[in-house]
């Protein structure tokens, strides 16, 4: 081999190693090499929360992926951010709180820059993770609220109609109930501490059994103002009143579906009690049961795809379930005793109910398909009115202790019970208020 060729080849062997370095130096001269990651920016979020029952742990997100929690502080700092646009949002607010302002809601961040975002949140007084119940005092029922452990029992409304009950708005800021304090039953609302009492209906006939829709803006109720029982709806201030059913027969027991778009109710327009559905605007009336025997007390599954109800179609009270067309009908309980008042857990996987199959009314539990029916309580008196907490971990109910009614709680697995109200007056019809956070279910499914 030619020695000069070898020498020439060795002389240029270092060039491949040098070329990347030369390229990088050239890029640096042309301002191309530094990336945004080497020149990080930051965003400061300044938080203002006003009102009672404040949410002090806001979840703030940039582009729905970069997350920080305020943890009681009024500022959140996002650091090490690349240049670009960032959309600012807030999630998992307490149900009683709302975002009034995010300014700006889209931030344009440059290299090494810092931007400030202001977030304003307003919160309203609310009953959250508490238990409401009725207490009979001086021959009238008054509405009380207490903590989940039975402490701090406070009266928030007087002279509440026990037979038609009451309802809590989904965000816990309003309670609606019927009262005959003016001589006939009318619909009222009140705030969580008994403040802001308002009368929503005013006519010479009875209005009762109010029920909030899923966003708390509409209230369905039963009215006898037309000479028979009809289903009416109005907004939560008593305006925009509308008769949905407008039929000569009795219509009653309105229950909103979880989406707040459809009502299930009981109608006697065929000569017996059947379960119907109707849209919130009064259209698309459907008879689901179409049976000559008594069908009543419709209860929506949490996903809104099924309805459990009580029926006499097999000669005794049983709990059936059906789909939204009234099809796929199934007897869940199949027992000669009296089975009634089905209550779905928040996940739709189990149903609590009342049964007299062992001689007196006790609380029972079954899977949503009717399997594994278990007796949950054992009491010489009756145990009634089961009501799940929003996490599905506990059930509040009414217990008859030798003639005195008390509010008890039992764990969702039936292991532990305790007397919450513990008062010589009659306490009944417990109902859990919403949990503090939205969109979160915790507990055994």
Chain segment 129-184, per-residue pLDDT in tens: 999 999 999 999 999 999 999 999 999 999 999 999 999 999 999 999 999 998 99
Do 208 and 178 form a contact (C-beta atoms < 8 A)?
A: yes
Apex CA 424: angle with CA 419 and CA 425, to 5°? 100
Q: Is 238 helix (H, G, I), strand (E, B) or coil?
A: coil
CA distance 399 to 377: 10
The span from the CA of 17 to the CA of 314, in Å, is 90
- Return all residues near 366 (Cβ < 8 A) that are at least 6 apart: 332, 333, 350, 351, 353, 372, 373, 374
Q: Does the pLDDT at position 445 exceed 80? A: no
Which two tokens mark 225? 């103002």
The CA distance from 166 to 159, in Å, is: 12
Helix (H), strand (E), coil (C) string for 418-439: EECCCCCCEEEEEEECCCCECC
Number of alpha carbons in the 13 Å side-chain half-sphere of residue 371: 2
If DSSP codes are grouped into helix, strand and coil, which group holds residue 417?
A: strand
In the structure, what pLDDT confidence band is assigned to residue 96 with cuts at 50, 70 and 90? very high
Q: In angstroms, rounded to a whole number, what is the distance separating the alpha carbons of residues 314 and 320? A: 11
> pTM of the full predicted structure?
0.85
Burial of 166 (0-12, 13-18, 19+ CB in 10 A): buried
- The DSSP secondary structure of 252-305, one letter per residue, reads EEEEE-TTSSEEEEEE-TTSS-EEEEEETTS---EES---SS-EEEEEE-TTSS
Q: State residue 29's pLDDT score.
A: 39
Residue 82 vs residues 30, 43, 64, 70, 114: alpha-carbon distances, Å? 21, 11, 15, 22, 11
Distance between CA 121 and CA 297 in Å, rounded? 39
- C-alpha closest to that of 62 among 76, 47, 48: 76
Give the total residue count for the chain.
445
Residue among 51, 122, 115 nearest 88 (CA): 115
Q: Mean of the pLDDT values across residues 314-319?
A: 96
Query: Could you tell me what percent of the chain has a pLDDT over 90?
Result: 83
Helix (H, G, I), strand (E, B) or coil at 9: helix
Please answer whether residues 425 and 407 qualify as being in contact, where contact means their C-beta atoms are separated by less than 8 angstroms.
no
Beta strands in 82-225 (DSSP E): 84-91, 97-103, 106-109, 114-123, 130-137, 140-147, 154-157, 166-168, 175-179, 186-190, 198-199, 207-212, 218-223
388-402 pLDDT, tens digit per residue, is: 999 999 999 999 999
Say what the pLDDT of residue 126 is: 94
* Higher per-residue confidence, 274 vs 26: 274
The residue among 298, 299, 328, 334 whose CA lies nearest residue 313 is: 334
Q: Can you tell me the mean pLDDT for 234-250? A: 97
Supply 96's token pair: 């009683």
Exposure of 189 by Cβ count < 10 A (0-12 exposed, 13-18 middle, 19+ buried)?
buried
Nearest-angstrom CA–CA distance, 357 and 354: 9
Alpha carbon 307 to its chain's center: 18
Structure confidence at residue 38 as a pLDDT band (50, 70, 90) = low
Which segment of 214-218, 371-375, 406-410, 437-441 scores lowest on mean pLDDT?
437-441
130 with 145: CB under 8 angstroms?
yes
* pLDDT (0 to 100) of residue 356: 97
């Amino acid at each position: 081999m030619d020695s000069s060729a070898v020498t020439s080849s060795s002389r240029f062997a270092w060039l491949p190693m040098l070329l990347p370095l030369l390229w990088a130096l050239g890029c640096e001269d042309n301002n191309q090499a530094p990336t945004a990651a080497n020149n990080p920016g930051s965003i400061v979020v300044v938080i203002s929360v006003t009102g009672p029952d404040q949410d002090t742990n806001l979840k703030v997100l940039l582009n729905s992926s970069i997350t920080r929690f305020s943890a009681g502080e009024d500022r959140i700092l996002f650091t090490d951010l690349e240049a670009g646009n960032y959309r600012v949002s807030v999630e998992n607010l307490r149900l009683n709180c709302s975002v009034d302002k995010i300014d700006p809601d889209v931030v344009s961040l440059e290299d090494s820059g810092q931007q400030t975002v202001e977030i304003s949140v307003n919160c309203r007084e609310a009953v959250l993770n508490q238990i409401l119940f009725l207490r009979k005092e001086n021959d009238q029922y008054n509405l009380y609220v207490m903590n989940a452990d039975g402490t701090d029992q406070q009266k928030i409304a007087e002279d509440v109609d026990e037979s038609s009950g009451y309802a809590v708005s989904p965000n816990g800021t309003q309670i609606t109930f019927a009262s005959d304090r003016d001589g006939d039953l009318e619909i009222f609302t009140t705030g969580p501490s008994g403040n802001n009492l308002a009368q929503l209906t005013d006519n010479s006939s009875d209005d009762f059994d109010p029920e909030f829709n899923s966003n708390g803006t509409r209230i369905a109720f039963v009215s006898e103002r037309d000479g028979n029982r009809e289903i009416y709806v109005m907004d939560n201030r008593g305006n925009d009143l509308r008769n949905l059913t407008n039929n000569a027969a009795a219509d009653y027991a309105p229950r909103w579906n979880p989406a707040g778009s459809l009502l299930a109710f009981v109608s006697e327009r065929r000569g017996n009690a059947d379960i119907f559905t109707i849209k919130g605007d009064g259209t698309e009336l459907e008879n689901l049961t179409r049976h000559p025997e008594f069908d009543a007390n419709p209860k929506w599954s949490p996903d809104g795809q099924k309805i459990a109800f009580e029926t006499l179609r097999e000669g005794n009270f049983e709990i059936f379930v059906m789909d939204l067309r009234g099809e796929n009908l199934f007897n869940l309980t199949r027992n000669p005793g009296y089975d009634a008042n089905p209550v779905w857990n928040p996940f739709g996987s189990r149903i609590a109910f009342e049964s007299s199959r062992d001689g007196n009314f006790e609380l029972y539990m079954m899977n949503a398909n009717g399997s594994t029916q278990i007796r949950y309580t054992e009491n010489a008196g009756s145990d009634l009115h089961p009501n799940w907490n929003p996490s599905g971990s506990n059930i509040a109910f009414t217990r008859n202790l030798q003639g005195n009614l008390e509010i008890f709680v039992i764990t969702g697995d039936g292991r532990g019970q305790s007397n919450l109200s513990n008062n010589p007056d009659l306490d009944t019809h417990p109902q859990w208020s919403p949990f503090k956070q939205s969109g979160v279910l915790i507990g055994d499914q």
